[in-house]
Amino acid sequence: MPASTVGFEAKMDHASLLKKVIEAIKDLLGDCTWDCTNTGMSLQSMDSSHVALVNVMMKSEGFARYKCERNLNMGISLASMAKVLKCAGQEDNVIIKTDGDSSTVTFVFGNDDGDRTAEFELKLMNIDVEHLGIPETDYDCIIKMPSGEFKRLCGDLSQFGDSVAISCTKGEVRFEAQGDIGTGHIRLSKKGSADKPDEEISIELEQPVSLTFALKYLNNFAKATPLSATVRLCMSNNHPLCVEYPMPEVGHIRYYLAPKIEEEAD
Amino acid sequence: MPASTVGFEAKMDHASLLKKVIEAIKDLLGDCTWDCTNTGMSLQSMDSSHVALVNVMMKSEGFARYKCERNLNMGISLASMAKVLKCAGQEDNVIIKTDGDSSTVTFVFGNDDGDRTAEFELKLMNIDVEHLGIPETDYDCIIKMPSGEFKRLCGDLSQFGDSVAISCTKGEVRFEAQGDIGTGHIRLSKKGSADKPDEEISIELEQPVSLTFALKYLNNFAKATPLSATVRLCMSNNHPLCVEYPMPEVGHIRYYLAPKIEEEAD
DNA sequence: ACGTTATTCG
DNA sequence: CGAATAACGT
């Protein structure tokens, strides 16, 4: 028997990136299964209330080193994984490894000097794999804006109601919420990317859209804000919204949420 | 009928100022009525426990633009108003507007670029107008000190008792509290304004005063500290204290509080 | 889990 | 000033 058969081993230069990914999904998912293949680590799961869908992709190119000898599923508690990642130093790199036979995954944090190593082992779990199809890829309207702007407006409008109506026309997008204490309207205009590309607001519009969503979920999605300076809102009337946080060179987090049906429309 | 009759419209360059004003009074007042006239916006109201009196004055000169076509009363929930103001960016300006006939007031926040507008509408309410007379304007003793100093000493003395005895003689003022764990005495001397005017401590004294107040209210008053670098304590024996936070060029917040009658004096 | 605050950093 | 963190309280 060989000393050790490593089925999967991947190294990231910045453990903080993985930490942000976990922080962005742990409240939504609880436990989940990572699919590890040659092309990268990914996960896809309904949230615990079975309303929103979460998709994370971390491509093999996003790692400093990546080896996956055979496809495997790592079922893991995200709360535990978050606890482990809190033990990583700000500048630490991380190695994630498991062999296909073992029932554990190991995280090794190290700094560049190599004078400190911290190693944590988590038990893996078997989780029912519910492979749900991802909604369409063709949208009537795609809005790109600073992720901080999206986080802020969702938070602000939550003061006024549980849901937000998003309506987008050629040059601008409106977000509106109403409730007992009053109403809130936020209007964003297209904005060039001239000097500061991260502040760009762009609207690609095939057709005007008008959709309503539960702010509770959007606020949860906004926990991915530290991962990306920009966010893309992809919408078609009567279809699920896709909120995408691109991780340049690495992959993305995408959240999907079905619109509310407005029965009280007049 | 004209398209829109705007009875009242006022613009401030810094929404943050209005926000601080609201933060300084909302815990005391709950709901209140703003009196809008040609000369500015003001309010006067007893606190919800009917012990302290609050007076806010925001002069028309303090606004970047101010138009009030006819006097009107805006009854408003300060908790709601605080929520709205939390939606203002740090650098946003704000327009407050209502027409005399409408039952709502609108706050519009804008940045200088103009690519983002946030508009919030609050319902107005009818509140009983209890116009209580403001206590005398002639005081035996007026102390001016840094507002941060006042906030700190009230907080510190709250550790020892529920009330503070303030006694002022020609050159100094003493603040004293006592309770189960011990006693606290804070003495402040007159201090010149030479280099740093905000650190000045001045005492104008017609007659020595010695008065006792509930710290609970003084600590509430101290929430106005961010509005003004200095505070004025105006006192006469057996008369209500006036705690004034001047807002240079804009107006002021004044709090009034009756002294405790000391029956257990020995 | 969330909001708020205090604090630090860039 | 804004962002990020930590700590706290509800």
For residues A161 and A223, membership in a common domain is answered with yes
Percentage of residues in chain A having pLDDT higher than 70: 96
pTM of this prediction? 0.91
For residues A118 and A157, membership in a common domain is answered with no
Chain B neighbors of A181, CB-CB under 8 A: 77, 80, 83, 122-123
With CB atoms and an 8 Å threshold, state whether A184 touches B119. yes
Query: Which position has the higher pLDDT, A137 or B110?
Result: B110
CATH code of the domain covering residue B56: 3.70.10.10
Query: How big is the A-B interface in CB pairs under 8 Å?
Result: 50
Cα–Cα distance, B78 to B46 (Å, whole number): 14
For chain A, the residue count is 266
Q: Where does a domain end: B90, B123, B156?
A: B123
Whether B103 contacts chain A with CB within 8 A: no
Q: How confident is the model at residue A265 (pLDDT cuts 50, 70, 90)?
A: very low
HSE at residue B2, side-chain half, CA atoms within 13 A, is 5
With CB atoms and an 8 Å threshold, state whether B83 touches A181. yes
Look at residue B3 and tell me whether its pLDDT is greater than 50: no
Decide if A64 is inside a domain.
yes
Look at residue B10 and tell me whether its pLDDT is greater than 60: yes
Predicted local confidence at residue B263, as pLDDT: 60
Q: How many domains would you assign to chain B? A: 2
Decide if A100 is inside a domain.
yes
Report the interhelical angle of A15-29 vs A78-85 (nearest 10°). 150
For residues A155 and A238, membership in a common domain is answered with yes
Look at residue B34 and tell me whether its pLDDT is greater than 90: yes
Which nucleotide's C1' atom has the smallest distance to the CA of A82?
A: C1
pLDDT tens for each residue of A68-113 = 999 999 999 999 999 999 999 888 999 999 987 789 999 999 988 8
Q: Give the residue-averaged pLDDT of A114-120.
A: 89
Q: How confident is the model at residue A130 (pLDDT cuts 50, 70, 90)?
A: confident
Residues paired with B37 in a beta bridge: B40
Cα dihedral across residues A51, A132, A242, A22: positive or negative: positive
Rounded, the Å distance between the CA of A147 and C1' of C2 is: 21
Q: Where does a domain end: A92, A123, A154?
A: A123
Which nucleotide's C1' atom has the smallest distance to the CA of A23?
A: C1
Decide if B27 is inside a domain.
yes
Q: Dihedral angle at the C-alpha atoms of B35, B40, B46, B47, nearest 10 degrees?
A: 110
Residues 120-149 of A with CB under 8 A from B: 149
Rounded, the Å distance between the CA of A162 and C1' of D10 is: 21
B137 Cβ contact partners less than 8 Å away, ≥ 6 residues apart: none
Q: Give the residue-averaged pLDDT of A162-188.
A: 95
Predicted local confidence at residue B266, as pLDDT: 39
Predicted local confidence at residue B1, as pLDDT: 47
Look at residue B80 and tell me whether its pLDDT is greater than 80: yes
CB closer than 7 A to strand C: which residues? A 26-27, 155, 158, 219-220; B 86
Decide if A72 is inside a domain.
yes
Cα–Cα distance, A100 to A121 (Å, whole number): 15
Q: Where does a domain end: A123, A153, A172?
A: A123
Decide if B262 is inside a domain.
no
Which bases of strand C have any atom within 7 Å of the beta carbon of a protein residue?
1-4
SS3 A60: helix
Q: Does any strand D atom come closer than 7 Å to the Cβ of B90?
A: yes
For residues A65 and A158, membership in a common domain is answered with no
Q: Which residue of B has its CA nearest to A159?
A: B83
Predicted local confidence at residue A36, as pLDDT: 95
How many separate helices (H) and strands (E) can be counted in chain A? 4, 18
Decide if A3 is inside a domain.
no
For residues A37 and A70, membership in a common domain is answered with yes
Chain B neighbors of A188, CB-CB under 8 A: 115-116
SS3 A87: coil
Whether B88 contacts chain A with CB within 8 A: no
Chain A neighbors of B77, CB-CB under 8 A: 181
Q: Which residue of B has its CA nearest to A173?
A: B116
Neighbour count for residue B154 (Cβ, 10 Å): 23
Q: Does any strand D atom come closer than 7 Å to the Cβ of A7?
A: no
Whether A182 contacts chain B with CB within 8 A: yes
**Residue A54: DSSP 8-state:** E
Q: How confident is the model at residue A62 (pLDDT cuts 50, 70, 90)?
A: very high
For residues B147 and B111, membership in a common domain is answered with no
Cα–Cα distance, B225 to B153 (Å, whole number): 13
Look at residue A264 and tell me whether its pLDDT is greater than 70: no
pLDDT tens for each residue of A187-242 = 999 988 777 778 899 999 999 999 999 999 999 999 999 999 999 999 999 999 99
How far does A198 lie from chain B, in Å, by closest CA?
A: 15
Report the interhelical angle of B78-86 vs B15-29 (nearest 10°). 150
Decide if A220 is inside a domain.
yes
Decide if A65 is inside a domain.
yes
For residues B178 and B236, membership in a common domain is answered with yes
Whether A184 contacts chain B with CB within 8 A: yes
Q: Which domain holds residue A24?
A: 8-123
Tell me the residue type at B71.
N
Q: How confident is the model at residue B195 (pLDDT cuts 50, 70, 90)?
A: confident
Q: What angle do CA A153, A157, A158 make, to 5 degrees?
A: 115
